Structure 1
Amino acid sequence: MATPKNFLHLWDDRFLYITPAIQSGLTARSSATVLASVSGHPFMLEAADGTRTYCTAAVVAPHVARRLAVEGCGLLSLNIDPASVAYRMLSRQLGGHGIQVLDARRFGRLREGFEPAQAGALDDAALQALSRGLVETITGSPERPTPNDPRIERVLDAIRHRAGAVSLRELSAVACLSPDRLTHLFAQQVGVSIKRYALWTKVRRTVQQFTGQRPLTDVALTSGFTDAAHMSRTFKSYFGLAPSFLAGKVEVRADEQASQAWGHGAAPMHS
């Protein structure tokens, strides 16, 4: 029997990691995360205070530390960008809670796609539909486009397409807002600070580059990290996985929108 693979499917506002097993240390990241057991058997989810829960599904808010132990049941880990509509829907559902434990049976017919997804048998359209279905089942409402303030959209675009640090002064010019007003409006609209979103963007841009075969040092520098060691430390704190594991042990797939939104090149700033 073939050994089950690890898959990473990238879209512009989310990505789906599918793995047969994972043992992670304490990790936290800027995305909201939906976790679901593939087989329906429980996995272990441990909060930062040491509280352990054995569950079949959960939602984890951004920057909430947790440990995972998944053995034998398989896992879908759907990571939602904090600037997306889906994130705002999940944030309302969490209601300020860091971790919300769920029963995977609530996903109903969607669960029929879990094992084919783990086997790599679903095409991109089916996987996108599955990811939307997970969010909509949890929140009880369909995803409808509700764009951010256009000034914040310009700032998000500037951060995403600029490798390395972007100063608050530059971003304020992009938004035509004072630094204080931009800081407040960004946190209100996106749910995380500009600094945290900028770091998340580095990580997300880096993940995008694993669709090709590039030296890790080149990937790190292109994404704005000081070196490969800095990139590796950040990845381990975010995902519990080294970039070398993602590059060598995970089949990474990205659609065209993800490539456009999180491509390799850095775009110039526009005021």
Structure 2
Amino acid sequence: MSHPPAAPYRGDFIAWPGVCGFIGEGGAGGPAIQPHAHYAIQLALGAPKGLRVQHGRHAEWQACAGALVPSRSTHTIDVTACEFSLVLFIEPETPAGRALAARLQGRPELLPDEVLACSDRLAHAWRVERSHDAVREVCTQLLQSLSGTAAPQPSDPRVLAAIERIHQHVVQPITLPELAQAAHLSPGRFRHLFVEQTGMPLRTYVLWRRLLHVWTLLTEGESLAGAAHAAGFADSAHLSRTARTMFGLPPSVLQVKGPLSTARREAALQRATTTGPVSVWRKAARSATSAGDS
């Protein structure tokens, strides 16, 4: 019996500190996912059905509504038959990551159909609202329900000042002693305070910020090599190694284009009609979107 061909994949890369991933519809032509293992904990959802996961290189494929995959566990997923899918990579050192790691105990977990209760809201935030913030809110609520933790909200003014400095100088080298000195703390005390407030080590946080900046530039039409350089990576190979280490995929897949990327480009074009030459408004757009992803 023949099956209808899968719809072409249309999606977006989504990211905020501690979490990144893909949201999209259809399956054909989407990111090619081979058996692999990576540092991030992975959450995959497929609606209304069609998601398949394989744990290990030679295990049987299993159909499910969703799955959680622990850090360093070899796996792959297939979203070809899904109408709508979400794949998130969660940094293990965040509060949600630590709670999920404790839940999984190194073993993958298939999730029940009830996990898809958020899919309609998620699809609306992505397709209709075309809002990265709205997608982030639904994803955050989903992660909170699965992990039993709330995302940390930094409140210490010294950490807030450090975060702002990182945002403003994301393309430049920034060190722990430099930030600690500005906060009038020892490097050891500042390191502890930063992790306590953000849920992430400083080095990991800076890498996330640079990856977010790469994504912003790519959605505005920058080349991969140009985005890597502009975000403070030595070259595209350095960016590729970082992306593969943090979520198991090459940075080229960040270039998938969906409603979120389209909305960003439309906003940039709108600014172009009111603020003058491209060289001026594009720089402003990059600065604004980079700050808006915090």
Shared fold (TM-score, shorter chain, > 0.5): yes
**Distance of aligned partners of 1:57 and 1:153 in 2 relative to their CA distance in 1, 3 Å threshold:** farther
Give the structure with the larger strand fraction.
1
> Could you tell me the percent identity over the aligned residues?
22
Matches for 1:1-271 after TM superposition, within 5 Å: 3-10=8-15, 14-19=19-24, 20=27, 22-28=32-38, 33-46=42-55, 54=62, 55-59=64-68, 64=72, 66-74=74-82, 75-79=85-89, 87-89=94-96, 91-95=98-102, 97=105, 101-107=109-115, 109-113=117-121, 120=127, 123-124=130-131, 127-139=135-147, 146-162=153-169, 163-247=171-255, 249-251=256-258, 252-253=260-261, 259-262=290-293
Give the structure with the larger helix fraction.
2
Shift of 1:104: 4.0
3-state SS of 2:221 partner: coil
Aligned residues: 254
3-state SS of 1:203 partner: helix
Aligned equivalents of 1:170 and 1:220: distance in 2? 24
Instruction: Note the residue ranges of structure 1 that are not aligned, 5 or more in a row.
Output: 264-271
Larger relative contact order (C-alpha < 8 A, sep ≥ 6)?
1
Provide Cα deviations, 1:66-106, integer angstroms capped at 9, x if missing partner: 432314244302345789xxx53453354374565241413
3-state SS of 2:135 partner: helix
Provide Cα deviations, 1:112-135, integer angstroms capped at 9, x if missing partner: 4566778x4564276345324422
Instruction: Note the residue ranges of structure 2 that are not aligned, 5 or more in a row.
Output: 265-284
**Paired residues of 2:154 and 2:198 also in contact (CA < 8 A):** no
3-state SS of 1:250 partner: coil
**Paired residues of 1:27 and 1:66 also in contact (CA < 8 A):** yes
Aligned equivalents of 2:68 and 2:176: distance in 1? 31
Aligned equivalents of 1:204 and 1:146: distance in 2? 19
**Paired residues of 1:107 and 1:137 also in contact (CA < 8 A):** no
Provide Cα deviations, 1:35-78, integer angstroms capped at 9, x if missing partner: 2123334422546x9988845423456x6454323142443023
Provide Cα deviations, 1:3-36, integer angstroms capped at 9, x if missing partner: 2312234567755512435414535356x64321
The aligned residue for residue 281 of structure 2 is none
Larger radius of gyration: 2
TM-score under structure 2 normalisation?
A: 0.66
The CA RMSD over aligned residues, in Å, is: 4.0
